[in-house]
């Protein structure tokens, strides 16, 4: 294929690409709101029509929530196959009053497109589609087979697609799985994400006396649920070192190689500046690891919410009958969320003992993912980013979870390349979401370049 010609094509079609994305963004495909179900379906249909116009065969796979779109264009069964992921559904828009323009009336301002979904994930995966189009229409045709798996449940039921995917294992067969649903650390550093954390989220409810008791009458004579909770919490994580104290928690953690640790550490980062940017005096880090490592390649535990006793205006001298905490553990390669959940539950039960009762409610789990920087498909991704953005690319770790990655890696058996095009300030999940047009077009160029890289430069040894 002719990459320069594909890039020319992108340049000539810039305005149309942006217009198409704007049309796409007008669809209020909020998957969490039942009354937007037909919009969610319309958004999936938008991609379906677009990919069919590019010669893709498509199928819609129903899920327990909405549906997923599968598309493929096989140019040569012997050629490598690239599977590209995206999602058409978007987050709700509340608080709507904080938006500068209506979230589904996209606007171009300061070189960016402003709308719900502009970055996450319509803009990012539409950049992939635009890149594929440029290769087909401008670059002399696809040099590899391309498949798309596009879901419409990601912001509502992250496990819905993972549940049906195994049934389509043959269709999903590929040599590399590309996900554009992440971001660069800043505009000057295009990046491949080589590490994302998994998650195990649990709500615990600790109960004591059958009803709230007067704290004057009973203070000093009871195992108070709030006290028991703080006892549990102080035994779950060492406050000073940041180590999680659940026995066995670190058993399966595979340390990152010194080489990859160094690569990930190359990301520009300044503790003091980061602290200032979020309004705290200083940051924390796990003992023995940098702040950046603590937030990306190290497992941790957070209390995401806590409520118990009297929390209204004024004061009530009660010993609350119960207290509830939402707790999530961020996991790294090769921790198993199910096993971690079991260790957690057994340990918390032990800590509570007969000082109260404790109930557990699971709120979902996701496996961690890690790729080695030296992996040829990762290296191809770095080169593609350099071609697309004309800046030296880096490898980074990311602290959050992308639930679809681990199941699809498991189903396909293929390496995953996380090549997202967003920026940290794009307001994902928040009012005034936007996506720089430069990221959108650079993304399209990188997507085109990636197909070229896989076709021409990934050694045969990297394929299975």
- Smallest gap from Cβ 359 to a copy of itself, in A, equals 15
Say which residues have a Cβ less than 8 Å from residue 39's Cβ, sequence separation at least 6.
27, 28, 29, 30
- Smallest gap from Cβ 314 to a copy of itself, in A, equals 7
- Smallest gap from Cβ 395 to a copy of itself, in A, equals 17
* Beta strands 318-319; 434-436: pairing state: unpaired
- Smallest gap from Cβ 398 to a copy of itself, in A, equals 8
- Smallest gap from Cβ 287 to a copy of itself, in A, equals 11
Which of 402, 388, 447 shows the shortest CA–CA distance to 127?
447
DSSP per residue, 32-66: T-GGGHHHHHHHHHHHHHHHHHTT-EEEEEE-SSS
Closer of 26 and 230 to a copy of itself (Cβ):
230
- Alpha-carbon distance of 327 to 249, in angstroms, equals 15
- Smallest gap from Cβ 217 to a copy of itself, in A, equals 5
* Cis peptide bond upstream of 414, omega within 30: no
Closer of 217 and 255 to a copy of itself (Cβ):
217
Closer of 309 and 438 to a copy of itself (Cβ):
309
- Smallest gap from Cβ 26 to a copy of itself, in A, equals 27
**b/e sequence 234-244, b meaning 16+ C-beta within 10 Å:** eebbeeeebbb
- Alpha-carbon distance of 127 to 438, in angstroms, equals 11
3-class SS of residue 258: helix
Closer of 247 and 305 to a copy of itself (Cβ):
305
Do the Cβ atoms of 258 and 374 come closer than 8 Å?
A: no
Which of 284, 308, 299, 289 shows the shortest CA–CA distance to 227?
308
3-class SS of residue 195: strand
If one counts every other C-beta atom within 10 angstroms of the C-beta of residue 4, the result is: 11
Closer of 77 and 220 to a copy of itself (Cβ):
220
- Smallest gap from Cβ 460 to a copy of itself, in A, equals 37
Closer of 285 and 383 to a copy of itself (Cβ):
285
Closer of 138 and 407 to a copy of itself (Cβ):
407
Whose tokens are 């938006």? That residue is 99
Closer of 48 and 298 to a copy of itself (Cβ):
298
């Amino acid at each position: 294929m002719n990459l320069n010609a594909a890039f020319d094509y992108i340049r000539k079609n810039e305005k149309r690409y942006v217009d198409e994305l704007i049309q796409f963004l007008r669809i209020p495909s909020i998957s969490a709101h039942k009354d937007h179900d037909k919009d969610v379906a319309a958004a999936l249909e938008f991609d379906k029509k677009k990919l069919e116009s590019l010669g893709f065969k498509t199928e819609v796979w129903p899920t327990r929530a909405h549906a997923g779109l599968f598309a493929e264009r096989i140019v040569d069964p012997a050629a490598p196959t690239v599977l590209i992921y995206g999602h058409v559904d978007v987050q709700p828009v509340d608080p709507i009053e904080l938006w500068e323009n209506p979230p589904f009336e996209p606007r171009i301002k300061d070189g960016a497109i402003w709308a719900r979904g502009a970055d996450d994930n319509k803009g990012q995966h539409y950049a992939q589609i635009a890149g594929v189009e440029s290769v087909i229409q401008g670059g002399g045709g696809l040099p590899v087979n391309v498949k798309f798996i596009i879901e419409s449940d990601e912001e509502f039921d992250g496990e819905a697609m993972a549940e049906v995917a195994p049934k389509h294992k043959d269709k999903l067969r590929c040599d590399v799985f590309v996900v554009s649903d992440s971001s660069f650390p800043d505009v000057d550093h295009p990046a491949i994400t080589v590490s994302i954390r998994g998650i195990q989220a649990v709500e615990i409810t600790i109960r004591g006396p059958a009803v709230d008791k007067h704290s004057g009458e009973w203070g000093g004579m009871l195992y108070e649920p709030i006290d028991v909770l703080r006892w549990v919490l102080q035994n779950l994580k060492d406050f000073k070192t940041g180590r999680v104290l659940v026995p066995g928690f670190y058993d399966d953690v595979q340390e990152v190689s010194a080489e990859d640790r160094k690569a990930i550490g190359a990301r520009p980062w300044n503790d003091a500046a980061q602290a200032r940017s979020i309004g705290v005096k200083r940051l924390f880090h796990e003992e023995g690891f940098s702040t950046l490592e603590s937030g990306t390649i190290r497992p941790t535990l957070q209390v995401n919410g806590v409520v118990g006793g009297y929390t209204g205006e004024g004061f009530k001298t009660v010993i609350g009958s119960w207290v509830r905490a939402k707790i999530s553990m961020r996991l790294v390669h090769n921790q198993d969320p199910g096993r971690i959940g079991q260790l957690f539950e057994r340990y918390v039960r032990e800590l509570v003992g007969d000082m109260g009762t404790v109930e557990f409610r699971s709120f979902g789990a996701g496996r961690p993912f890690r790729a080695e920087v030296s992996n040829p498909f990762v290296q191809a991704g770095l080169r593609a980013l350099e071609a697309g953005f004309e800046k030296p690319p880096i490898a980074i770790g990311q602290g959050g979870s992308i639930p679809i990655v681990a199941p699809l890696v498991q189903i396909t058996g293929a390496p995953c390349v996380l090549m997202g095009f967003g920026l940290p300030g794009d307001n994902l999940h928040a009012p005034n979401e936007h996506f720089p047009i430069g990221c959108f077009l650079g993304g399209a160029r990188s997507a085109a370049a990636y197909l070229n890289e896989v076709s021409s430069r990934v050694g045969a040894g990297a394929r299975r």
